[in-house]
Amino acid sequence: MSTDFHIVVCGSIVPDPLQTLSPQDSPQGPVLQNEMMLPAVLDPWAGHALYEAANLAKNNPGSQVWLVALGPKAKLQQVMMAVSQKAPFQLVVADGSASGFTDSFETAKVLSETIDGIAGLDKSKMLLFGGWQSASRGSGAVMQMVGEMLGVTEQFQGVDKITVGGDGSIEVLERVEGGAYQKSVVDGAPAVMGWATGELPEPPNNPQVGMQNMQKNMPALQQAKPADLSGTTLKFESVAVPQQRRETRIVKDASIEDMAKEIVEWIKG
Amino acid sequence: MTDDMPEVVRAEMETDIVCVGFGPAAGGFLTTLTRGLMKEDGTPLAESKAMPGMPPQVICYERADDIGFGVSGVVTKGRAIKASFPDLDLSQIPMAHEVTEEKILYLKDPVGASRRPLAFKVADKVLGRFMEDDAYELPYIPPFLEKHPGMIFSIGQLNQWVGSNLMGTGMAQIWPSSPVAEPLLEGGAVKGVRMADQGVEKDGTPGAGFMPGMDMKAALTVVADGPVGAVGQRLDRELGLPEGNHQREWAVGMKCVVDLPEGCDWQPGTVLHTIGYPEPEIFGFLYVYPGNVASLGIFVPSWFDNPVRTAYRYMQHWMLHPYLWKRLEGGTMRSWGAKSLAESGKRGEPILCGDGFARIGEGSGSTNVLTGSGVDEAWATGVQLGEAVLQLLKDGMDFTKDNLEATYLSRRRESWVEQEAKVAEKSRDGFTKGILRGFIGMGLTGLTGGKLNMPGKPISPQDRIPSIEDYYKGYISHGEIQEIRAECARQGKSLHDALMDRVGWPEIPMDGQLLVSHQDALLMGGKVQASPGYADHVRFANPNACMACREKVCIEACSGQAITTNPEGGVPLFDREKCVHCGACMWNCSQSHFMDAERTNVRFSAGSGGLHSAEN
């Protein structure tokens, strides 16, 4: 089989994990306080998937990478300025909520319909990448449902590494229980890969990549159509923060002996 | 940095206009420019020279990881901003509100540790009988300090709102996480900018994944990177300042956003300014946003001669003042930050135009130091340059010094920014001789329209910082100071806490919500982090000067506690993970640069990371 892949990465924005997140109930259901005000970043799980996709495309000439994002257009615009400097991709946007308080099925439906609409996408070469869960709601269900809706039955979750063989076969390393890895081999595309962290560091900002990306991607952002998420019958009842509050203390340059002693004391309780 | 390295092959790209730093000035510039780049018939006003067939290509690079990561709430009359957005609905911008109430409060010293001149002690006694909660509300706000009609907003939220509008036009690209290391200078002409190298070690030497910073060539470089930006600093060094001008007066603003406790009686749109406490030289502000949220903080000026001037602890004491604490107690810190402010005003104005470059905003000396306003002035200078550039593009003229002076500089000189800056020019001279003369001087300048001023000559910070022994003479003996030095050196701590405790400042009652440790403020409020792969952006030019230095004001004044005591003595340690890029170290140094008496021994460069909070 050929090794030029059509890689579709599903990913959107989440509030910057450094921010103070205050979930609360509202008449429309659970919300994050001031969510539209908080700085946003690309979902870190999706980020790993994107960097792996870019690396795979670089190593397999003729491949293409699309980033499919369901998120509020104005916020996506800002985040894409930073993400565009990381890796080359083509952006496809559905304008809608990226909140964790969204029905996974409706999200998957919007994403699969958006992917169906990508001009030039060859499903026989498609590798569907995404996070194995989302930083906004870690159900891990969306990628699986998108794959099913698109008719892709080879699915892997918690992927940290894939290796493409000369015959187009793909060896997949998946996380399994107890910190072990499971190795699988599939004949080739299409397949769904829900990425964990992968093995690649975050790429440096490359202004040239950013400029090239933006010429194609900003018009795509402008033309994003509103996503219809209204079909859900799912209702989130309420949201609460855990009662336990972790007391974080930062100590620099602690000696190993001090750390060990502290861990022992903690274990003793 | 790159001057010391062997020549490396750099990527190079071309654009028409490159802008450094996104803030109010760049916002005004790009808003004005993008509105005029396309004519009504849909054709470009001018053709791009970098990409023929397209409208002019405009790029803006912002150092911070997001364009909303600003560091201040502000109150402003907003004349220029309103002129740019005549139908502005403040509810479109989160945390914005009309000014509804203004107060100026003189705060009495409730703890007895404040270092007050006699006149302030007398004022504490005389006004004490009229005070509520140890605060005296001035019965009258002079016109030059009035902010009504005006608006309060968060600069971070304004930047986000303006930025998303700009990018929505498709006529400008604004790139965050993009530190610009220096301008590309050829003689006195600017040809573009150079991005910071990545994949380098702390000292700038290439490391794993080395990627030299790209050179972005542009016909026009707009310098809007503020008072501590690397491009503006470099131009000042290479071109010098106009004769008689200087940049010797500074302040560090340290601010936070607080969820007010339930039942707090402050209404949205309330504007408070305080004088008198925690030290007479320190001013405070508090603005109330919608949703029971307030932005508040203090300004610590460079003429406050305390060599251990910690903004953080002073801010906590200020928040604990009875008048404020009565309403703040029970609140929660939501955001925190710090920033250097150029307080030289018009007298700090650099060369504003040259071949291929123009300067706007705070770094161009637009701040009005009498009225204490800079955001709207910065926006106005951006608008002026935007109009000038549109005119030059339309006429097909190059961005030469002469052309920029004829279009941009002439607009600026004729504008209210300039006229009011001239009135304000000498308003702060009195502070160089003392706090009381300073206040009288400001009053004189403000009430006479600049005709009468208190005389005084600004002295650079490194020349006026006294030794710790001199500052505490009569309060702490030499011997005891020596003991404190030794004990703090042993524990790796800065001196200010021990010295302040010793002269009677009470311990801060930490509550874990609003009164938190300095390091927790970095985590809870500023959400500070640094990207990997960049060099340290704070370095010390001459290690021998640090060896001889006994004040190490940079450690005491560091807003993020990123500069700390080196157990081996000599050059302090710098931790990039904690730096909030306020630039206070650049002017909180008692040692002059060995090659330039106007500069200190601290080299502040472009770097990545810093604050990650857009609420401020």
Q: pLDDT of B73-117, one tens digit each?
A: 999 999 999 999 999 999 989 899 999 999 999 999 999 999 999
- Residue numbers of B between 70 and 99 with CB closer than 8 Å to A: 94-95
Whether chain A has a CB inside 8 Å of the CB on B527: the answer is yes
Please determine, for residue A2, whether its predicted confidence score (pLDDT) is greater than 70: no
More confident call, B585 vs A2: B585
pLDDT average, residue stretch B162-169:
88
Q: Determine the Cα–Cα distance for residues B268 and B99; give it in Å rounded to an integer.
A: 8
Over residues B319-357, the pLDDT tens digits come to: 999 999 999 999 999 999 999 999 999 999 999 999 999
* A211 and chain B in contact, CB less than 8 A: yes
Cβ distance of B164 and A18 shorter than 8 Å: no
CA distance B367 to B58: 26
Q: Report chain B residues whose CB lies below 8 A from the CB of A206.
A: 211, 214
The gap from C-alpha B334 to its chain's centroid, in whole angstroms, comes to: 20
B220 forms beta bridges with: B17
Lowest mean pLDDT among A14-28, A74-88, B236-250, B303-317: A14-28
pLDDT tens-digit profile of A81-116? Answer: 889 999 999 999 999 988 888 899 999 999 999 999
The answer on pLDDT for B3 being more than 80 is no
Per-domain residue ranges of chain B: 12-83+156-240+350-424, 92-153+247-344, 431-458
Residue A28 one-letter amino acid:
Q
What is the per-residue pLDDT across B438-453, written as a single tens digit (0 to 9) for each?
A: 999 999 999 999 999 9
| DSSP of B435-496 | HHHHHHHHHHHHHHTTSS--------HHHHPPPHHHHTTTTS-HHHHHHHHHHHHHHT--SH
pLDDT digits (tens, 9 = 90+) for A46-92: 999 999 999 999 999 999 999 999 999 888 988 998 899 999 999 99
pLDDT number for residue A246? 67
**pLDDT band with cut points at 50, 70 and 90 for residue B169:** confident
B565 touches chain A (CB under 8 A): no
Region B27-32: what's the mean pLDDT?
98
Instruction: Please give the helix or strand (H or E) that residue B255 lies within, else none.
Output: strand B250-259
For the segment A147-171, the average pLDDT, to the nearest whole number, is 95
Distance from CA of A21 to the nearest CA of B (A): 10
Task: Give the three-class secondary structure for B87.
Answer: coil
The pLDDT-based confidence of B5 (bands split at 50, 70, 90) is low
| Separation of alpha carbons B193 and B252, rounded Å | 28
User: What percent of chain B has pLDDT above 90?
Assistant: 86
Name every residue whose Cβ is closer than 8 Å to that of residue B456 and which is 6 or more positions away in sequence: B429, B430, B431, B432, B433, B437, B441
Which residues 6+ apart lie within 8 Å of A257 measured at CB? Answer: none
**Torsion angle (degrees, nearest 10) of CA B516, B518, B522, B523:** -40
Select from A39, A81, A205 the Cβ nearest to the Cβ of B198: A205
3-class DSSP state for residue B592?
strand
- The yes-or-no verdict on residue A120 having pLDDT over 50 is yes
B155: helix, coil or strand?
A: helix
Residue-by-residue DSSP string for A71-136: E-HHHHHHHHHHHTTTS--EEEEEES---SSS-HHHHHHHHHHHHHT-TT--GGGEEEEEESS-SS
Q: Chain A window 151-190: which residues touch B at a Cβ cutoff of 8 Å?
A: none
As a whole number of angstroms, the distance between CA B534 and CA B87 comes to 43
- Best residue in B9, B60, B175, B580 for a mutation probing chain A (most A CBs within 10 Å): B175
3 state SS of A15? strand
Q: What is the ipTM of this complex?
A: 0.81
pLDDT in the model for residue A252? 73
Residue B479 CA, distance from chain mean position: 38
| Residues within 8 A of A (CB atoms), B 115-174 only | 157, 160, 163-164, 167-168, 170, 173-174
DSSP state, residue B187: T
Domain locations in chain A as residue ranges: 6-226
Is residue B492 less than 8 Å (CB to CB) from chain A?
no
**What is the Cα Rg of chain A in Å?**
20
Cis check: omega of the bond before B290, within 30 degrees of 0? no
- Residue B103's nearest CA partner among B323, B281, B282 is B323
Q: Return the sign of the alpha-carbon dihedral for residues B514, B519, B520, B526.
A: positive
Domain B92-153+247-344, CATH 3.40.1390.10 — does that match? no
CATH code 3.50.50.60 for B12-83+156-240+350-424 = yes
Q: Per-residue pLDDT averaged across B148-170, rounded? A: 91
Residues in B closer than 8 angstroms to A20, CB to CB, are 334, 524
Averaged over A237-260, what is the pLDDT? 80
Which of A18, A77, A78 is facing B529, going by the closest CB pair?
A: A18
| pLDDT at site B1 | 44
- pLDDT number for residue B524: 85
Classify residue B130 as exposed, middle or buried by CB count within 10 Å of its CB (0-12, 13-18, 19+): exposed
Does B178 sit within 8 Å of A207, measured CB to CB?
yes
Per-residue model confidence (pLDDT) at position A17: 79
- B177 in contact with A, Cβ within 8 Å: yes
Please state, in angstroms and rounded to a whole number, the distance separating the CA atoms of residues A194 and B434: 66
Instruction: Give the nearest chain A residue to B59 (CA atoms).
Output: A211
A19, A205, A214 ranked by CB distance to B178: nearest: A205
Q: What is the pLDDT of residue B140?
A: 92
- The 3-state DSSP class for residue B126 equals helix
**CB count, 10 Å around CB of B115?**
18
Do the Cβ atoms of A33 and A15 come closer than 8 Å? no
Name the band, by pLDDT with cuts 50, 70 and 90, for residue A132. Answer: very high
Does the pLDDT of residue A150 top 90, yes or no?
yes
How many CB atoms neighbour CB B132 within 10 A? 11
Flag if B95 and A18 touch (Cβ within 8 Å): no
Give residue B371's pLDDT.
94
User: Alpha helices of B308-374 — where are they, by DSSP H?
Assistant: 311-319, 322-328
Query: Which residues of chain B have a CB within 8 Å of the CB of A38?
Result: 614-615
Whether the upstream peptide bond of residue A190 has omega within 30° of 0, thus cis, is yes
Nearest-by-CA chain A residue for B334:
A20
Structural contact between residues A128 and A146, judged by C-beta atoms closer than 8 angstroms: yes
Interface test with B, best of A35, A78, A248 (most B CBs within 10 A): A78
Each residue of B249-260: pLDDT tens digit? 999 999 999 999
Query: CA-CA-CA-CA torsion for B527, A77, A213, A108, nearest 10 degrees?
Result: 100
**What whole-number distance in Å separates Cα of residue B269 and Cα of residue B293?**
11
* pLDDT at A28 (0 to 100): 79
Q: Are A119 and A236 within 8 A, CB to CB?
A: no
Does the beta-carbon distance from A85 to B175 stay under 8 Å?
A: yes
A144 touches chain B (CB under 8 A): no
Say if residue B469's pLDDT is above 50.
yes
CATH architecture of A6-226: 3-Layer(aba) Sandwich (3.40)
Rounded CA separation B276/B283 (Å): 7
Nearest to A15 by CA among A51, A44, A55, A47: A44
Nearest chain B Cα distance for residue A209, angstroms = 11
Q: Is the pLDDT of residue B2 over 70?
A: no
Residue B220, pLDDT > 70, answer: yes
Examine the pLDDT at B170 and tell me if it is beyond 70. Answer: yes
Residues 6+ positions from B91 with CB-CB distance below 8 Å: none
> Tell me, what's the pLDDT at B329?
96
Contact assignment for A78 to B163 by CB distance below 8 Å? yes
Candidate from B94, B168, B178 with C-beta closest to A37: B94
Identify whether the C-beta of residue B171 lies closer than 8 Å to the C-beta of residue B37: yes
Q: Is the pLDDT of residue B162 over 70?
A: yes
Average pLDDT over residues A169-178: 94
What is the average per-residue pLDDT within B505-529?
Answer: 91
Q: Does A55 touch chain B (CB under 8 A)?
A: no
What is the average pLDDT value for chain B, to the nearest integer?
Answer: 93
Chain centre distance of CA B519: 21
Tokens representing B6?
Answer: 């062997």
Residue in B13, B174, B613 nearest the CB of A208: B13
Residue A231 DSSP SS3: coil
Contacts of A74 in chain B (CB under 8 A): 164, 168
